[in-house]
Structure 1
């Protein structure tokens, strides 16, 4: 039987304790038995692990193999250049992730928690880490609960549990016995570690410490969750394996053909064998997009910096693109979709309704309607909370509900100057509070507030238009209907009453005059509705997953545009995984009264359905699902546990930043895809040039060092410039990419094939034209120089052909133009300085340069002609389909 189902005395007996607490010897023995009251923390991040993680890519494995092989055959310059590129790529990713980790550490607020306990009949202040089961705690308003405990006795106790349960309103607590085994949010006689006492005080006995607390169980769930590969990592991994297989096949075919030819002609020697291997490795170098790892890393790093300006801290580079791929966002309600601050939305009296604008505790906002000041004066005076303005921010001391009443009175410009004479405090049975006040003129009056059903029992009249009228059945029905209307909208309704008194009469609560209601709610953030509308247009499903009540979740969902039936945690308990999947497939987007295990099951079910899931949240109860999701997003005001489990931390709580991050992720993916298109189009052409030359018995048109130069400079600079390309205007109106989709879909691969084939035809024609195909000495050198320069111009043309395919305006990115000019200038420097001797190329004359330019122009016109034909046939297919 759970502790909540036993009386306080039974729990003390089970724990071998009493109201005088434990003695020192028993505490020492239990510390040895149960261990300190601390959570097991993950090991600190090792910088070496972060560094070596940057090399986990199939493409990088191929390049590392190329480095080793180049060293074996003595091509040290090639190996050094490839290794330098890989090292630069690794360092960029390493410093980005290390800085993000350190930034997150800086966000943590380290504070030693203490607790007041009764030991040996005396009160003592001890370190929270030294608490053991059986210790008796003394807790008052403002204290943080240091361990899980069963309440023994309490006075007006309210506890803030939103980080654990997701409920917006502080939970009223008491010492009574609960007949059934219920969820955490309904265990009103229990206290849980990391929650806070808002109002009142209590005596409680510790029943769980360390990893045996509810937060400890959540920490265990987090540590058990396995990190998922991001969609980009999966796509690049698949791309790398397939590319590697193609490269190995092509190299094997070329090596085999050359070796067989030499064998039958009697020319196969050890020297020719090594030469054939060198040709094969040249093909590998040509095929592998050497600059790709650096391009991906830099594109993601630029996205990280953009997001940081928008108040989003990215802990891991690859997380940026994942947001662009996500098609489901599971979001907590309290603190993420809502303000996590109770706000009075309506005032109501028998004279009519008043609507109050504004959010938070700042007493600023429009008031629509004719307010009855007496109603808001009652909320202001029958109140024990305080509001203070510090550094431009309004801070609350006391109950958030009472803070909302102070704010509503402040919006009307009211001030509480009456002197309090006496008070009947609120308690959980009466559900009322009353105060006796004396105003500036010496008049005495009573103001009361409470739950409508309880307060109305003490009322015999009601207030309307300045008159006090008998509370008849008709008036009572009107009042009750209005209360039901607000309750149906998930509003928290407080009723207010008043009466005048003589100075000699003691404070009592009979014969009150009903004034009206103040209806409050934890309102949605102002930016949530447009943000969710944008995600809908982007094809992203938003699911609210909250620990709050069903009616509250439904009402908030209605306000922000999540229209759905509600599924509760209790219903999930009675479902197997298949049934839960069926519920998600049916379109239910609101889940209420859920616990951490439910959130994990929901995320797992969505992932099993093939979705890429982002989970947002701020509470301890969100952490396991944040860890399990493809990408976890913690809000800045959230708990450290949530931040530790997340991939991205929003430095403020604006939901709109999630939409900005999704847009950034999609744009980054487009730019990475453009870069891969450029790199592969060029590399495919280079491989095809060498492959066809070898197959037709020509000389080698490009040497390994020329191939490496093209890949590093001519490919690399424009591909890097794509990292800052502007995004398309349709980026948030198209559907998310399927996680199973390859990094380059079929239409892009066809385009690469066409462009590479056209470029190969031009290159081999020029190679033959200048005698390089079968010549030797200077003829071969000139032919290789011509091909080398044509491939550079061919890849410059590709830059603009590919950007046009992505509908990017021609002059929208000056970095691309700078990269193109840089490639051409560096090529000229290489050709007309002594550097040409290192690369074994010739200096071309004006006629040869003119022929190259004309060839590049013809190549561009052919590419444009293909694009026009492709568009024509695509429109015909669409017309036929329509």
Structure 2
């Protein structure tokens, strides 16, 4: 049957055609179908061939200039110079080619890590599997926030709305139902289908998979959606533009010098032209964009190792500048391992012990009137969508952790199975009404509505309460409010349970059914202890000048207790959602700085809080997991979605996804973001001064009309060997020890600051002094021109090496053993450069090519001393600047 006609079949016929049933497929059948139908994923987008990717590395104005220079030198029969220029171009292309390959692998790995999960029925039990393992006939469970993992024919739907803009362009969510629709219905009118890639905005549903992978509706248009994310950021683009303008400036200067030397000084054109080529190659930072992008790619991988998956690369720059982190509480600051710790009935408080989600544990004191506690346990079991499963020695939850804790509590009251009761309808939990209600029938023709939710909401819905002897009596609202506050003050989340008996023929649940005639059964308090690593991470944030604000839907007293435990600066100052609603934007902007805990909030409040913080010029990171968190995540400077409990909608809106939902991973991401930014500054701060230093040597010599202290071929060699090694090593620099002890950088801080420009001038001046000093010394000693130039060549390389060791520590002294010890990448680059320099200095074959001569030990030490002098002078300047 054509997949487009599934919507015309009744649900039972659909299951029959697919060889499935309401309880789902068995594992064996699912495995067989997976082998037959393949993985549920869209065909991979077409990739460019390696040859095309390699050739595209030459598509750059900087490379065009070098290739033109190579062509001219070849016409002048300067074949050695031509070979070196081509070698420079090839080295740069190879670096870019390898970097792009690694970047594509990193992005592919990230896409794999973000592959959606699907809740399905297998062997009659709820389980979670990777979305790509779905097969036709699988029964999929949907709830608000999920991304639909395949094309589904809906079997059950409870208030289900799906955002289908990705397929239909309709911005309003579509109401879904299970009845058949005409076979010729348009795509947007197939209201009994849920399409792969769309997002559930509210409600719950069950559906059977009718199409997977490329056979889905989104698969038909996957060619339009298969764009590959480009590994670039505003900073890289900014530096590319800067390099282009710098190239044009250098070419203009080169042309003027060429004209001056030829027409005014009457120098030989071929020799003059080669000098100008050397000047251009030395001054053009052709490898800078590639090295910057490599630095970002290294940052992506480093963050992934810290469980922070970067979805949009500009976030790497942003996360390092964050000055405020707005975080959820549950699972982020806490363990997300809920445990029912207390139960309150009329006139009696009980404590419950246990570990994790294990159903073993005791209730103390032993209930004298067991009926009410047992009834709460039954309510906790039935008004519940989770499943508890035992893996080895641990119990794990399939579903909401709070509901898992309620199942464990129910087992402690003697209720282990739901088989005696059939759920006939449900009102799913929604943040707007803050309760869940379910309707159940048993085999003895009894029917009950069970409601669980926020105490203040249920108290308004109840007229009676269950007494200690199991009888109904008038509700004492003041008593329950006091008990709820007492539990919350201990840092526990409070839930209320209520019930109502209805006639057996009552099978449909409506909102009007729960707005009156409910009887309050009692309260339960659940604890979710803070993560020890989150406490340490918050302390680290405070040292780094980063404010941490907790935004939670919990009771104000609960939020304050957790805020106190994790070490927030103002844990006792709590603003509730109701109080936020009373503040206008100006009042909120003033209050937001004086409060670190926001309780009883809705996702809409998060958006207002982000906006209020940004009004102060702060760079805000915001965590979120729900569908309604998407606006706040997009508004934040760095949106961070939860990888485990987060909805697909939240992940789509976020720049980062936490694989472990742990606040410590956010702080690790901030640390890595600062490290990446520091390394980018180091790359730029090393590349630009050394490039201008090399170029200045040639410019000054040409303007003075003197013999060049270094030949164009030698300057080409220096540029090739150092840019491909020393500059690249800085991309792998580790985090500096004081990285998280510095305040966040300002939002508008430029990468090319006045300090960097001063450093370029200083280093260029020192390069000129060092080069001409060693050149003058060599001529004064009566050395040959070849030996003098060899000394200058090695002096340039040695000064660039010592400049590398200086630039590795931007914010602290470089005169420590740890700074001198360096890293494996730094020493690998230095060893490569030293070996290469020794080769062209001492090997006769290379001496003939590069016009070099062997350097004696004394002169070698003198060259080394020039590097030491450079290091000492720039280090002294840094210390003076840091202590001003």
TM-score by length of 2: 0.66
Closer, same or farther: CA 744–335 of 1 in aligned 2, 3 Å: same
Alignment-derived partner of residue 602 in structure 2: 593
Alignment-derived partner of residue 405 in structure 2: 404
The equivalent position to 1:734 in structure 2, one of 734, 742, 745, is: 742
User: 2:823 aligned with 1:813, yes or no?
Assistant: yes
Closer, same or farther: CA 68–649 of 1 in aligned 2, 3 Å: farther
Measure how far apart 1:827 and its partner are: 1.0
Closer, same or farther: CA 432–779 of 1 in aligned 2, 3 Å: closer
Cα separation, 1, equivalents of 2:53 and 2:626: 30
User: 2:806 aligned with 1:796, yes or no?
Assistant: no
- Contact kept? 2:488, 2:558, Cα under 8 Å: no
- Contact kept? 2:262, 2:272, Cα under 8 Å: yes
Cα separation, 1, equivalents of 2:364 and 2:560: 23
Instruction: Identify unmatched segments of 5+ residues in structure 1.
Output: 1-16, 25-40, 117-126, 132-136, 149-163, 166-172, 174-190, 203-211, 214-218, 439-445, 499-510, 878-882
Aligned residue for 2:86, secondary structure, equals helix
Alignment-derived partner of residue 643 in structure 2: 636
- Contact kept? 1:781, 1:840, Cα under 8 Å: no
- Contact kept? 1:319, 1:631, Cα under 8 Å: yes
Alignment-derived partner of residue 139 in structure 1: 156
Cα separation, 2, equivalents of 1:845 and 1:796: 18
Alignment-derived partner of residue 255 in structure 1: 258
Closer, same or farther: CA 703–620 of 1 in aligned 2, 3 Å: farther
Closer, same or farther: CA 372–709 of 1 in aligned 2, 3 Å: farther
The equivalent position to 1:301 in structure 2, one of 297, 303, 311, is: 297
Cα separation, 1, equivalents of 2:320 and 2:68: 36
Closer, same or farther: CA 347–771 of 1 in aligned 2, 3 Å: same
Measure how far apart 1:767 and its partner are: 1.8
Closer, same or farther: CA 79–431 of 1 in aligned 2, 3 Å: closer
Cα separation, 2, equivalents of 1:420 and 1:317: 50
- Contact kept? 2:295, 2:731, Cα under 8 Å: yes
Measure how far apart 1:829 and its partner are: 1.5
Closer, same or farther: CA 422–544 of 1 in aligned 2, 3 Å: closer
The equivalent position to 2:683 in structure 1, one of 675, 679, 704, is: 675
Closer, same or farther: CA 602–401 of 1 in aligned 2, 3 Å: closer
Measure how far apart 1:772 and its partner are: 10
User: 2:495 aligned with 1:493, yes or no?
Assistant: yes
Cα separation, 2, equivalents of 1:553 and 1:50: 57
Cα separation, 2, equivalents of 1:545 and 1:358: 28
Closer, same or farther: CA 53–340 of 1 in aligned 2, 3 Å: farther
Alignment-derived partner of residue 68 in structure 2: 68
Aligned residue for 2:858, secondary structure, equals helix
User: 2:392 aligned with 1:389, yes or no?
Assistant: no
Q: C-alpha deviations, 1:339-372, integer Å up to 9, x for none? A: 778653543357775666889644589x998575
Aligned residue for 1:325, secondary structure, equals coil
Measure how far apart 1:795 and its partner are: 1.9
**Residues 666-815 of structure 1 mapped to structure 2, 5 A cutoff:** 666-771=674-779, 779-803=784-808, 806-807=811-812, 809=818, 810-815=820-825
Corresponding pairs, count = 741
Cα RMSD (Å): 6.2
**Residues 267-278 of structure 1 mapped to structure 2, 5 A cutoff:** 267=266, 272-273=268-269, 275-278=271-274
Measure how far apart 1:197 and its partner are: 9.6
TM-score by length of 1: 0.66
The equivalent position to 2:523 in structure 1, one of 517, 523, 527, is: 517
Closer, same or farther: CA 814–645 of 1 in aligned 2, 3 Å: same
Closer, same or farther: CA 692–568 of 1 in aligned 2, 3 Å: farther
Instruction: Identify unmatched segments of 5+ residues in structure 2.
Output: 1-6, 15-40, 75-80, 117-130, 140-148, 165-171, 178-193, 208-216, 428-434, 501-516
Closer, same or farther: CA 564–722 of 1 in aligned 2, 3 Å: farther
Closer, same or farther: CA 61–705 of 1 in aligned 2, 3 Å: same
Alignment-derived partner of residue 236 in structure 2: 233
User: 2:290 aligned with 1:286, yes or no?
Assistant: no
Measure how far apart 1:731 and its partner are: 0.8
Cα separation, 2, equivalents of 1:641 and 1:199: 16
Alignment-derived partner of residue 479 in structure 2: 478
Closer, same or farther: CA 70–530 of 1 in aligned 2, 3 Å: same
Alignment-derived partner of residue 853 in structure 2: 843
Measure how far apart 1:325 and its partner are: 3.2
Cα separation, 2, equivalents of 1:50 and 1:609: 48
Cα separation, 2, equivalents of 1:858 and 1:228: 40
Measure how far apart 1:787 and its partner are: 0.7
Aligned residue for 2:740, secondary structure, equals coil
**Residues 69-468 of structure 1 mapped to structure 2, 5 A cutoff:** 69-74=69-74, 75-106=81-112, 107-108=115-116, 109-110=131-132, 111=134, 139=156, 194-195=199-200, 230=233, 232-233=235-236, 236-237=239-240, 239-240=242-243, 243-244=246-247, 247-248=250-251, 250-262=253-265, 267=266, 272-273=268-269, 275-315=271-311, 319-329=315-325, 344-348=340-344, 361-363=357-359, 372=367, 374=370, 377-382=374-379, 383-384=381-382, 387-392=387-392, 394=395, 403-409=404-410, 415-416=414-415, 453=459, 457-459=463-465, 461-462=467-468
- Contact kept? 1:678, 1:719, Cα under 8 Å: yes
Alignment-derived partner of residue 653 in structure 1: 661
Aligned residue for 1:462, secondary structure, equals coil
Q: C-alpha deviations, 1:74-107, integer Å up to 9, x for none? A: 3532442232233223223322332234334442
Cα separation, 2, equivalents of 1:261 and 1:364: 96
Alignment-derived partner of residue 864 in structure 1: 872
- Contact kept? 1:349, 1:517, Cα under 8 Å: yes
Cα separation, 1, equivalents of 2:741 and 2:860: 42
Cα separation, 2, equivalents of 1:754 and 1:358: 67
**Residues 560-575 of structure 1 mapped to structure 2, 5 A cutoff:** 561=568, 565=575
Measure how far apart 1:702 and its partner are: 2.2
User: 2:538 aligned with 1:535, yes or no?
Assistant: no
- Contact kept? 1:389, 1:395, Cα under 8 Å: yes
Cα separation, 1, equivalents of 2:387 and 2:546: 40
Q: C-alpha deviations, 1:759-784, integer Å up to 9, x for none? A: 321211222333499x9xx9332222
Measure how far apart 1:538 and its partner are: 2.6
Cα separation, 2, equivalents of 1:408 and 1:357: 9
Measure how far apart 1:140 and its partner are: 6.1
Closer, same or farther: CA 376–691 of 1 in aligned 2, 3 Å: farther
Aligned residue for 2:388, secondary structure, equals strand
Measure how far apart 1:250 and its partner are: 4.2
